[in-house]
Structures are given as C-alpha cells and as structure tokens.
C-alpha cells in the first residue's frame, strides 16, 4: 500500500487500524533530481510488500512528518515495525538497497533514540 502525504486523512485512517508489519517512509524533496528518479522505483517496490505501508514525504511540504529529526541527504528512509524504528538514514538511490533492508527487517534490532519518533504519532498530530 502506497501513500503520498497529500492524502494524510487516508494515511491516518490506515495507520489507526492494525499496525502494518512494516512502515516504510521515504523522505525526499521535490527539487531533488535523485528523488524524482527514485520515486517510481519506490512505488513499484511497494507492490512486492503487500504487508507494508509505503509513504513518500516531501520534507519541505510536510516537515511535521519529520518530527525533530534532520535530513541531510536524499533519499532518507525510515523503516518501523510495531516495536519501533529498525532503520533511519540516507541510502544510495538504488532500490536494491531498500529491498535488501526490507527482506532482512525481521532480523533487525529496534533502534532507540534515532529518527523522528513513531511515524503514526507524527501523522496523527499533522491531521489535527
């Protein structure tokens, strides 16, 4: 399932249901040519992971979905499960990197004190 931030009510409704097995957020910017090339790959990859929710966030239009975290390079990915953040950081714009990360997500430990916080909370706050 793939969402764009201009559909925050639909995203919030989906996140209020059962927590997705994985939540995959890509932080980018509209002016970034790398992001423009990466977005269709990100969208296509979402079809291979029906148990996950994929969200594309333009950091300049939806900075509230970044919380207190900073993004220095694009694309920056956030991967969370119901226990917390599994990955937060910039990656090379090769979709294979994200695919490998998702394939091994079940083996990854939950990270503490990294990233923007629970993405579901950021979405809820942004839609108030």
Angstrom distance (rounded) from CA 77 to CA 75? 6
Q: Where are the domains of the chain?
A: 2-126
pLDDT tens digits, one per residue of 17-49:
777 899 999 999 999 999 999 999 999 999 999
In terms of average pLDDT, the best of 14-28, 37-51, 59-73, 109-123 is: 37-51
pLDDT of the residue at 18: 78
pLDDT of the residue at 1: 58
pLDDT of the residue at 32: 94
Angstrom distance (rounded) from CA 36 to CA 88? 20
- What residues are paired with 79 via a beta bridge? 24, 87
Tell me the DSSP string of 65-96. GGTT----SSSEEEEEETTEEEEEEE--S-HH
CATH number of 2-126: 3.40.30.10
């Amino acid at each position: 399932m793939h969402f764009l931030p201009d559909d925050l009510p639909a995203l919030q409704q989906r996140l209020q249901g059962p927590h997705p097995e994985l939540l995959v957020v890509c932080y980018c910017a509209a002016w970034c040519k790398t992001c423009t090339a990466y977005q269709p790959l990100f969208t296509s990859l979402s079809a291979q992971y029906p148990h996950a929710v994929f969200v594309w966030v333009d950091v300049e239009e939806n900075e509230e979905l970044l919380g207190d975290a900073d993004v220095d390079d694009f694309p920056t990915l956030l991967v969370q499960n119901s226990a917390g953040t599994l990955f937060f950081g910039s990656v090379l714009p090769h979709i294979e990197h994200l695919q490998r990360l998702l394939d091994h997500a079940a083996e990854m430990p939950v990270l503490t004190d990294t990233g923007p916080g629970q993405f579901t909370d950021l979405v809820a706050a942004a839609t108030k």
